[in-house]
Amino acid sequence: RRQRALLWAVLLLAWEAAWGQLRYSVPEEMPKGSFVGDVAKDLGLQLSALIDRGVRVVSEGKTQYFAVHGKTGHLVTAERIDREQLCESVQQCVLRCELIVEGEMKFYGIQVEITDINDNAPGFREADIELRMSEMTAPGSRFPLAEAHDPDLGRNSLQSYDLSGDEHFSLAVQAGPGGDQRPELVLAKALDREEAAFHELVLRASDGGDPARTGTARIRVTVLDANDNAPVFSQAEYTVRVPEDVPVESTLITVTATDADEGLNGKIKYSFKKITDKASQTFQLDGDTGAITLWRSLDFEEGDSYELELQAHDGGALSDTTKVVVTVTDVNDNVPEISVRSALSEISEDAPPGTVVALLHVRDRDSGANGEVRCYLDRDVPFRLQKSDDGYYSVVTARELDREQVSEYNVTVRAADGGSPPLQSSAVLSLRVLDVNDNAPVFAQERYSARVAENNLAGALVLTVRATDADWGQNARVRYRLWEGRVRGAALSSYVFTLDPRTGNVKVSGPLDYEERKYYEASVEGKDGGGLTAHAKVHIDIIDINDNAPAL
């Protein structure tokens, strides 16, 4: 059975790797450089090939928690990871990143589950708890106590409470709607203020780690004269919806409680009974009026809902509780983010349509229509966008390129969200088009003509042929040669004329005699660096001079 389970695990990992998705797990608080997984092996890639193609790991957040070891191909931690800091209220903490293989223009999704260790002790929001009870309080009465908080999970989280210090009190623990433990102080024996005006107790919270961690709170109970009316909130639960751009110091809601008693016993004070650290830094409660104000700016992308548990207590220590739910609504305050994961800087002009020149990732941190992004390219460019999964886009060639028409492109990729008005961003890709030898030389004339006297010395310039090539570099460099033409069975170039292969200058190389030959014709070939050729005709007339005496 164990072998069968191992086989299924291997098959599952292979299936996930084949579909570009790897899953690993690693305990929190591991030192930087700790092993997470062998991505080279799990993707079926040779380590040398993986290194040669260039790989890197990218994550969405500001902190990059993982990296690929350059020598082993292992996925390792790049930073110390605190699960409680990353996933404050999430049971399964999963970090997502992508492995970018630049040489192949591919990406592979990676999910790493951060498992919990017992690195946090249970703690109370207040180490000293003050309770005030009437001496008329009946035995068996229960008083809710502040709950301890342990950000760890499972057995490492809060498991039990115990109470010590006085025979007048005992501890009861109730299960909340979400399975949480709620400690209550139970009056076990009637109070007598004249016998004891104060009672000192210690409440201890323990987790299930090995070894267990504990946290304590000191409870001081002050015995008062009778107070027979407790405060009562006007609502058992308050709800309020606010946009994330509501100004700081704005009053979000005011809770109200009433008490039928008079004087000190009827004077109500408000306080937070249960609140997370994050919420305590965000909201402020006026203890006298019950007004809840915004202490710091809200961000829908960081938190879209807060639950606050409030308590109203009178001067006699009687109290009531209520819950306030603050729902944060999204505002279009984030522009689309365009990340160039990989891009070419140059491309051959004979690249086929569909060639990938860049891999982009686009996201918008807003939600709903505000987070829906539309990407597009400027018009009149020979490129188009192809959408992939998880916000990835490929920029590919839409048609054949022609360096002789456009030698360089600055391709602007634009992204706009669905907000009103929409927010936009852009990125520019610079791409140089490389030349291929797709243009033959072209002579300036199909036929060149010249006249030269028969007494010209060797080296005299007769004419110049010239051909141009629309290509670039070596492909545009033209060399010339006399392609045909013979005198007395010998090549024209070796007899009376020479052609400079670089300049195209035709010069006299031997004696000319009008009485022997009145003109010469030949074909000139121009060949570029890629082997493409062109031809032109050359006609040279010999001009007679008076170089012969009359003969009898």
pLDDT digits (tens, 9 = 90+) for 302-359: 889 999 999 999 987 789 999 999 999 999 888 999 999 999 999 999 999 999 999 9
Contact 475, 437 (CB under 8 A): yes
Across 87-102, average pLDDT = 85
Domain 1-115: CATH architecture, name and number where available: Sandwich (2.60)
> Does the pLDDT of residue 90 top 80, yes or no?
no
Query: Quick one: 328 exposed, middle or buried, by C-beta within 10 A (0-12, 13-18, 19+)?
Result: buried
Q: What is the pLDDT of residues 415-443, one digit of tens each?
A: 999 988 999 999 999 999 988 888 899 99
CA 518 to CA 538: how far, in whole Å? 14
Q: State whether CATH 2.60.120.10 applies to domain 337-434.
A: no
Q: Look up the pTM and report it.
A: 0.58
What are 15's two structure tokens? Answer: 């299936």
Question: Cβ of 253: how many Cβ atoms within 10 Å?
Answer: 17
CA 463 to CA 455: how far, in whole Å? 17
At residue 301 the predicted structure's pLDDT band, cuts being 50, 70 and 90, is confident
Residue 20 pLDDT: 57
Q: 253-267, 473-487, 516-530: which range is least confident on average?
A: 473-487
Inter-CA distances, 292 with 249, 252, 279, 284, Å: 9, 6, 12, 6
- Nearest Cα residue to 226 out of 270, 264, 184: 264
Q: Where are the alpha helices (DSSP H) in 73-221?
A: 83-86
> Does the pLDDT of residue 362 top 80, yes or no?
yes
Handedness of CA 414, 417, 420, 423 (dihedral sign): negative
Which strand ranges, in their side-by-side order, compose the sheet holding 479-484?
A: 447-453, 533-543, 519-527, 479-484
At residue 15 the predicted structure's pLDDT band, cuts being 50, 70 and 90, is very low
CA 256 to CA 272: how far, in whole Å? 14
Q: What is the pLDDT of residues 189-204, one digit of tens each?
A: 998 877 888 999 999 9
CA 522 to CA 167: how far, in whole Å? 127
Residue 484 pLDDT: 63
Q: What is the pLDDT of residues 222-240, one digit of tens each?
A: 988 677 788 999 999 999 9
Contact 161, 179 (CB under 8 A): no
CA 332 to CA 421: how far, in whole Å? 9
Residue 187 pLDDT: 93
CA 475 to CA 30: how far, in whole Å? 58
Is the omega angle on the peptide bond into residue 151 within 30 degrees of 0, that is, cis?
no
26 Cβ partners below 8 Å, 6+ apart?
34, 36, 77, 81, 112, 113, 114, 115
What's 255's DSSP letter?
A: -
Q: What are phi and psi of 494, to 5 degrees?
A: -95, 0
37 Cβ partners below 8 Å, 6+ apart?
22, 24, 74, 75, 110, 112
Residue 11 pLDDT: 37
Domain boundaries, given as residue ranges, for the chain: 1-115, 123-224, 232-329, 337-434, 442-543
What are 513's two structure tokens? Answer: 């005699």
CATH code for the structural domain at 442-543:
2.60.40.60
Q: 84-98, 126-140, 283-297, 454-468: which range is least confident on average?
A: 84-98
Q: 36-50, 312-326, 330-344, 399-413: which range is least confident on average?
A: 36-50
Domains 123-224 and 442-543 share a fold: yes
157: left (phi over 0), alpha (psi -120 to 50) or beta: beta
CA 135 to CA 129: how far, in whole Å? 19
Across 494-506, average pLDDT = 86
Contact 509, 496 (CB under 8 A): yes
Pick the CATH number of 232-329 from 2.60.40.10, 2.60.40.60, 1.10.10.10, 3.10.20.30: 2.60.40.60
Contact 201, 168 (CB under 8 A): no
Average pLDDT, the chain: 87
405 Cβ partners below 8 Å, 6+ apart?
none
Q: What is the dihedral of CA 299, 302, 304, 308, to 10 degrees?
A: -100
- Nearest Cα residue to 68 out of 94, 92, 42: 42
Query: Quick one: 538 exposed, middle or buried, by C-beta within 10 A (0-12, 13-18, 19+)?
Result: buried
Domain 123-224: CATH architecture, name and number where available: Sandwich (2.60)
